[in-house]
Structure 1
Amino acid sequence: MTEQQRTSATGGMETSYGFRQVGEGEKQSLVNDVFHKVAKRYDIMNDIMSAGLHRAWKDAMVAALNPPRDPAYRLLDVAGGTGDIAFRVVEASGRQAHASVLDINGSMLAVGADRAAKKELSANLDFVEANAEALPFEDKHFDAYTIAFGIRNVPRIDVALTEAFRVLKRGGRLLVLEFSEVEMPLLDRIYDEWSFKAIPQFGKLVTGDAEPYQYLVESIRKFPNQQDFAAMIRAAGFSRVNYTNYTGGIAALHSGWKL
């Protein structure tokens, strides 16, 4: 299982569909299919994959961002279709900030737009169907860029990070929350057992299909470790790059600034 080697700071995720190697340009459509299948159960999926801890990790991410109560503040939340991070940021700003939720998957965005309407947050949000590798925004447009549990599903991560740098204003901040490499002895073994044996089976019970969960578990193990991903963020031009491990490294929050 974990003998599968992680990709490095020099790349590899663009042709990695879980543990399968796929051709150049094939990954995106395969990933899209996964999220079309799980869109309506996405939050349940995150509960399964993190044993519910993703909620605390996301709250910590928003606390680290600390959005101001300023109607001019602009957030871009990428791969955030269901709105989970954007809703938290808008609420933390006292419903002053504006968030653009961008996702390549229309099914995910439909769930997010419906949730926003029910929460009466539609005035603070817009939903954009687009690719993280080619953002449809002008340079220096946003104060912050967030992406939670989505960067590992982007084929060309280096391109997405370069695009993040481009659309951020000077002084803007990048925050990336992602499953990472467990750094605590024993916990890594427990997490492996949970990931490879339990998660796909729970996924099958919830959605009737284990395959999307098998991919997602495998994609976590292929994603660069904390140090390598931090190096990728620096290579994209960001400064003051650091990361904070959550729950022994099951997840990590990476931070960088455009200075």
Structure 2
Amino acid sequence: MSETVSFGYRDVDADEKAGMVRSVFSSVAAKYDLMNDAMSGGAHRLWKDQFVRRVKPQAGEAILDMAGGTGDIAFRLARHGAQVTVADINPDMLGVGQERATKRGIDGLAWSEQNAEQLTFADRRFDAYTIAFGIRNVTHIDKALAEAHRVLRFGGRFFCLEFSSTTWPGFSEVYDAYSHHAVPQLGKMLAGDAESYRYLIESIRRFPPMPEFERMIRAAGFAQTKVEPILGGLVAIHSGWKI
């Protein structure tokens, strides 16, 4: 029997998921940042600022920003003088990022179409690896984590910003109701695409809880792992070191 993996609330053939995810992000690429603002009330900007503060990018160091197509994280990293490679499986998302970089006069970023599970970069290439709101869309998360570990130098750091499950009583029920009902409607109004945003919300529900994901990061070889919940775990910053 062929392997099945989650695609939102559905189980699909593992070989089909990457193409399905690529299709989702091709559909939402042009309106992706507008929808992020609408869905989070602009809070995603604060989460990303906090995330980059935790990364502590340094001038001249090489950072791989995986699933970073629109450039939101890369632009923040580059302000500190880091040499950033923006990687994404979806060329449409990369195109949006490159266009945004041009409009903002941001030079020096490298753009690369990459599958997080099969990176083409050499071993020990980067000082840091970042991924924001992307790892839950990977078909085999363990393979993506192993690749992150492989391309990091010894002493390199891994940082992941991802949605999770809030532990605040009452808030989780309110957020569930909002996300399942309001977000697809926002997607329909602002991006003309309710189904892609329904998938994005469902993919959050299928993502491993914070303790389980931390165990997966350790299993990939990372040490000194840490989880920093935001809003009780609605969003979390995961980190680890290659030593």
Query: Could you tell me how far apart the structure 2 residues matched to 1:205 and 1:14 are?
Result: 32
Q: Which residue of 2 aligns with 1:81?
A: 69
CA separation in 1, counterparts of 2:4 and 2:183? 24
CA separation in 2, counterparts of 1:134 and 1:14? Answer: 19
Contact 2:62/2:128, CA 8 A, preserved across alignment? yes
Q: TM-score, structure 2 length as denominator?
A: 0.97
Alignment partner, residue 40 of structure 1:
30
Q: Distance in 2 between matches of 1:178 and 1:219?
A: 11
Query: Is residue 97 from structure 1 mapped to residue 82 from structure 2 by the alignment?
Result: yes
Distance 1:143 1:120 in 2: 25
The alignment's TM-score, normalised by the length of structure 1, stands at 0.91
Alignment counterpart, residue 48 of structure 2, candidates 36, 52, 58: 58
The runs of 5 or more residues in structure 2 that have no matched partner are: none
Unaligned runs of 5+ in 1: 1-12
From 89, 105, 110, the equivalent of 1:120 is 105
Measure the CA separation in 1 of the matches of 2:33 and 2:40: 11
CA separation in 1, counterparts of 2:6 and 2:217? 20
CA offsets 1:114-152 (integer angstroms, 9 cap, x no match): 1111222222x0100110011111011101000000000
> Counterpart amino acid of 1:29?
G
Which structure has more relative contact order (CA 8 Å, sep 6+)? It is 1
Q: SS where residue 182 of structure 1 aligns?
A: coil
Counterpart CA distance in 2 for 1:157 and 1:43 is 24
The size of the alignment, in residue pairs, is 241
Do structure 1's residue 172 and structure 2's residue 177 form an aligned pair?
A: no
- Note if contact 2:4-2:11 (Cα within 8 Å) is conserved in structure 1: no
**Cα distance in 2 for residues equivalent to 1:55 and 1:14:** 34
Report the counterpart of residue 185 of structure 1 in structure 2: 169
Superposed CA RMSD in Å reads 1.2
Deviation at 1:97, TM superposition (A): 1.4
Moved over 3 A (4+): none
